[in-house]
Amino acid sequence: MQPDGSSLRSRCGQGGMVTAEFAVVLPAVVLVLALSVGALGLAVDQIRCVDAASVGARAAARGDSAGSVTLVVGRVAPSGAVVSVDAGGDIVRVSVVAEPRVAAGLFPTWLRASASASTARESPDPQP
């Protein structure tokens, strides 16, 4: 039995439809992938900000200068992070804020990784 010409044409037409559907879905898949990678990068930056703020608060509580606290925090924090140190009074506070680095154009401008840590200033050891 010979294949009917119309069934052959309909099978060929289906191939073009699948290509068109794939072309429509591909940008959505790429967008979801980019958002997922960006969100993962932001989560990693958030963890690094928390660690950096904790390290900075401990250094400030020991009595280190603001410059050395910023240097210590800069080693742990994400690149380009903004560090602020408030060492007035008996409580020291270190804040770290970082902009998204991966797929930053896809996220709103208010979305950023940030953390702050506060601790009591350590009293110096008494001299015997």
pLDDT score, position 111: 87
pLDDT tens for 35-61 read 898 889 899 999 999 999 999 999 999
For residues 7 and 4, give the distance between their C-alpha atoms in angstroms, rounded to a whole number.
Answer: 6
Whether residue 126 lies inside any domain: the answer is no
Domain carrying residue 98: 10-120
Q: What's the total number of domains in the chain? A: 1
Mean pLDDT of 72-87: 92
Is 128 inside any structural domain?
A: no
**CA atoms in the 13 A half-sphere facing the CB of 107:** 20
Residue 18 inside a domain? The answer is yes
Strand segments (E) across 8-122: 82-86, 91-98, 113-120
User: Could you give the 3-state DSSP secondary structure of residue 121?
Assistant: coil
Three-class SS of residue 117? strand
- Look at 66 and 18; give whichever has higher pLDDT: 66
Is residue 1 in some structural domain? no
34 assigned to some structural domain: yes
Q: Is 111 among the domain residues? A: yes
The pLDDT, as a whole number, for residue 125 is 67
4 in a structural domain: no
Reported pTM: 0.74
